[in-house]
Structure formats: structure tokens, C-alpha cells
Chain A
Amino acid sequence: MNDIIIKNITRIIIPFAQMYGIFIILNGHISPGGGFAGGAIIGTTLILYTLVFGREKGKKKFSHKMSEISESGGIMLFVIIGMIGMITAGAFLSNLSGGFPQGQLGEILSGGFIPILMIGIGIKVTSTMISLFNLLIDEEKL
């Protein structure tokens, strides 16, 4: 796409949209939102970038290697957090009884491992959206 208006508007919008997505992920346990919603927002900005600037530039921002790492890394973070609870309290994914810091109700640092899990889910959803999109548009050129 070679339209200067779309390119400039996209350049301006993407940082704000990504900031908003990160905000929604990190505030998932004290306000509406969470990993799925925030991850979908960040994934949509990456899809917008690929649509406007083309597949080659999009590949530089989010390569196949990076997609592999984040795709399995999101689940690994989840499983490792669950295993920590298993070691300390005897049950998979045990939160406060597993010794995770409790924090103050309503603050950003509260809820034990819930913010960490939300970050893991956000990474997973973001990379799933962008890698599914890349797989579908790569095939079109074959």
C-alpha cells in the first residue's frame, strides 16, 4: 500500500495502541480486561503494520524465529509458574497458599501470580494472532 496518509496515520497510532494494550494486560486483575483482550489489541497493531508496510518490513518487526519463541514461551511461563506452586504447596497452580506475594487488594502488585499469568497469556495471544495472519498471507503468494 503506497498511500502517504495511511502510512503516517499508522505510524502515529501504533505506539498509542500498543501502550493501551500493555495497560490492559497489566491492569487485568484490578479492572476490566486481561491477557486475552490486551493481547488481541497488540496483535491487531502488528497486523496493521504488516498490512500497511508490507510483508518484508513486517518480517523484520516480528520474524518467524520470534514467533516460535513467544509461541512456546507463553505456555512455558504458565507451566513454570504452575510448577512453582506444585513444589511449594503440593498442587498445580496454587496461588496464595503457594507462597506468592499477596500484596494490597486493589493495587497493581496484588493477587499473587495472576499478573504474571496475564503477561504470559498476552504474549501467547499476540504471537498467535500475528503468526496465523502471516501464515495465511504467505500462502497467497505461492
Chain B
Amino acid sequence: MNIIERILENINYIGAVALFLIGLRIVVLHSNLIKRIMGINIMGTGVFLFFVAIGNVSGGVVPIVGANPEGSTFVNPLPSVFILTGIVVVVSITVYSLSLVIRIYQNYNTIDQKELAELISEDNNEH
């Protein structure tokens, strides 16, 4: 009984960890480069959820002065500000890695990691 209560209390954090591990599994086990980029995105989402969960206050209200009834407590505004930076960084690395994948496809005609390793080792043996 106790363990179920604790899981329900910390459901945000458990969801964040689950998202992070799903992303990590995709990055480790799939050999398609596009799927790996998607995995990095899912890992990023897990980290964002973790940060936002840190800022949660039960019964708290949105941190806007004058829009709430008197005496209500604000949620923590600082993690929300940091997450904006995180979103920008994730967008940047996603687009940069997608552009690298386009270049790889133009040169080798494949986006599969294993085929790519074979092609590159063949190239090295020729020279």
C-alpha cells in the first residue's frame, strides 16, 4: 500500500525517468540515424519533464502577479526559465545532426549505421 502511494506521489519523476530511458534505448539499439536523432529528442523531453516537476508546488498557481486570488503561493518560476534554454539547445542539435545526415546520405546512399561502418572500412582499405 505504501509503495503505491509513493509511486503516485512521484509520478512526474517516474515519467521523466521512463521517457529518458526510452530515448536512451532508441539511441543505443537502433542503427537508423534518423531514429537515433528522435531518441535524443525523447531524452531531452524527459529532462524537461524532470525540471518542470522540480518546480511543482501542490496547490500553487501560475506566477503572474495580480491574476490570482490573495494569499495563493506561486509555483517555482526558475525551472521554467531554464527549460527555455534547454529547448533552444535541443532544437539546434536536432537540426545540425539532421543536416549531417543529409550530407551522409548524399555521399554514401545509406543512413544505416552498420552499412555505413562497412562502407567506411571498405573506403579505408582501398586507400
Contact = CB atoms under 8 A, between A and B. Distances in A.
Direct contact between A and B in the complex (CB less than 8 angstroms)?
A: yes
Interface of A: 30-32, 36, 105-106, 132, 135-136, 139-140, 142
Contacts of A136: 95, 98-99, 102
17 contacts: A30-B64, A31-B67, A32-B62, A32-B64, A36-B84, A36-B87, A36-B88, A105-B66, A106-B65, A132-B95, A135-B99, A136-B95, A136-B98, A136-B102, A139-B102, A140-B102, A142-B106
Interface residues of B, number: 13
Interface of B: 62, 64-67, 84, 87-88, 95, 98-99, 102, 106
A135 B84 CA distance: 24
A139 B62 CA distance: 43
A36 to B, nearest CB: 6
Nearest to A34: B84
Contacts of B102: 136, 139-140
Which secondary structure dominates where chain B touches chain A? Answer: helix
Contacts of B64: 30-32
Nearest to A135: B99
Contacts of A105: 65-66
Nearest to B106: A142
Nearest to A106: B66
Given A30-B64, A36-B88, A106-B66, 13 more contacts: A31-B64, A32-B62, A32-B64, A36-B84, A36-B87, A105-B65, A105-B66, A132-B95, A135-B99, A136-B95, A136-B98, A139-B102, A142-B106
B31 to A, nearest CB: 23
A23 B113 CA distance: 45
A89 B106 CA distance: 54
Contacts of A31: 64, 67
Nearest to A129: B91
A30 to B, nearest CB: 7
A136 B102 CA distance: 8
Contacts of B67: 31
Pairs A-B, 7 closest by C-beta atoms: A132-B95, A106-B66, A139-B102, A36-B84, A136-B98, A32-B62, A31-B64
